[in-house]
């Protein structure tokens, strides 16, 4: 990592709150059944409230298109402050079928298409989305070429477990993106080591994908139903753990999602927590929580819960 990147990383860590909070344009925000108007209002609302980090992917339906439309709608002055990342390797083809392809020609094509949909000349970060070791090693030279061409500024890997750990050992990888939250700390040691080595760490699912909200299993919208279905299929263990820790809903001055987000951001290795939501009220609550510091005794209790989970 060069000196400029190190300086930017240091400045980011010195500034609490909004600079460490991002919005993932994914899930319902990229689904056809979720309206364009609601998605645009949410994204534009995030920009108006000072969120500058946005992450998406060609795997997430029409998410890139919607993010691009929102960026254009806020005007060039506001757009200049945004740091947009997307991904390559896993994507939807023109018939909506999921494809996996890390070949050089596909990576270059996906980048060109993403830039077009987003209305950008360059991407702040391009992530390889879940590569195995062979895909990682054959893709990194392509990302270096894209950097040299000025199409991307930083390179990253979004993955989990041993595949993410392998990427962390590569000097040419600037950014790591992986799950980290109150009940899933499997990447904690890796993130600490990567941060010490000068890499930037983005935590995804910092709110456990909505599991900490009171009444999570009572849907109030189609989007709520989508989150519940995902939790039951992919995240049942964390859902059970969150349900058992009812005291999280009884802490004076805090709600459970705010505690979860503050816990994630209390880790000095985490440079950015990438959240997602379909509700402006939830976004505003996340912004408020990102600017708060957990009292020491509360932090210790949360850390104990996480260790037990």
State the DSSP H helix or E strand holding residue 166, giving kind and residue range, or none if neither: helix 161-168
CA–chain centroid gap for 43, Å, is 14
How confident is the model at residue 305, as a pLDDT? 81
**Residue corresponding to tokens 């020609």:** 105
How confident is the model at residue 15, as a pLDDT? 42
Q: Contact at 8 Å (CB) between 107 and 88? A: yes
Spatial separation of the C-alpha atoms in residues 243 and 56, rounded to whole Å: 29
How confident is the model at residue 11, as a pLDDT? 43
How confident is the model at residue 149, as a pLDDT? 98
Give me the domains of the chain, ranges plus CATH numbers: 16-308 (3.20.20.100)
Spatial separation of the C-alpha atoms in residues 190 and 181, rounded to whole Å: 14
Q: Is the dihedral of CA 175, 180, 184, 185 positive or negative?
A: positive
107's tokens: 């990576």
Spatial separation of the C-alpha atoms in residues 28 and 30, rounded to whole Å: 5
**Per-residue confidence in pLDDT tens, the chain, 309 aa:** 555 445 544 444 444 557 899 999 999 999 999 999 999 999 999 999 999 999 999 999 999 999 999 999 999 988 999 999 999 999 999 999 999 999 999 999 999 999 999 999 999 999 999 999 999 999 999 999 999 999 999 999 999 999 999 999 999 999 999 999 998 999 999 999 999 999 999 999 998 655 566 666 657 788 777 766 766 666 667 766 666 778 888 899 999 899 999 999 999 999 999 999 999 999 999 999 999 999 999 999 999 886 544
- Residue 54, classed as helix, strand or coil, is strand
Spatial separation of the C-alpha atoms in residues 19 and 290, rounded to whole Å: 9
The secondary structure of residue 253, as a DSSP letter, is T
Ranges assigned E (strand) in the chain: 21-24, 53-55, 83-88, 90-92, 98-100, 123-129, 152-158, 175-179, 200-204, 272-275
């Amino acid at each position: 990592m060069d000196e400029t990147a190190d300086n930017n990383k240091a400045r980011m860590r010195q500034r609490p709150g909004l600079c460490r909070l991002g919005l993932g344009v994914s899930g319902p925000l990229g689904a056809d059944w979720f309206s364009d108007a609601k998605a645009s209002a949410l994204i534009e609302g995030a920009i108006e409230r000072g969120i500058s980090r946005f992450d998406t992917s060609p795997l997430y339906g029409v998410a890139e298109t919607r993010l691009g439309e929102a960026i254009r709608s806020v005007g060039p002055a506001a757009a200049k402050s945004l740091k947009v990342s997307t991904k390559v390797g896993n994507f939807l083809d023109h018939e909506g079928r999921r494809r996996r392809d890390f070949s050089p020609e596909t990576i270059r094509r996906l980048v060109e298409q993403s830039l077009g949909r987003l209305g950008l000349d360059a991407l702040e970060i391009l992530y390889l989305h879940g590569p195995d070791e062979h895909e990682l090693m054959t893709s990194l030279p392509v990302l270096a070429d894209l950097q040299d061409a000025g199409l991307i500024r930083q390179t990253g890997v979004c993955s989990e477990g041993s595949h993410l750990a392998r990427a962390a050992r590569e000097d040419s990888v600037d950014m790591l993106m992986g799950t980290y939250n109150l009940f899933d700390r499997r990447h904690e040691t890796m993130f600490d080591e990567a941060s010490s080595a000068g890499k930037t760490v983005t935590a995804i699912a910092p709110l456990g994908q909505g599991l900490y909200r009171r009444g999570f299993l009572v849907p109030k919208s189609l989007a709520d139903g989508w989150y519940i279905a995902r939790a039951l299929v992919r995240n049942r263990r964390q859902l059970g753990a969150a349900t058992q820790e009812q005291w999280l809903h009884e802490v004076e001055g805090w709600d459970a999602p705010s505690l979860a987000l503050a816990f994630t951001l209390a880790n000095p290795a985490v440079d950015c927590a990438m959240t997602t939501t379909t509700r402006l009220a939830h976004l505003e609550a996340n912004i408020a929580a990102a600017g708060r510091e957990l009292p020491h005794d509360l932090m210790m209790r949360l850390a104990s819960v996480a260790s037990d989970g």
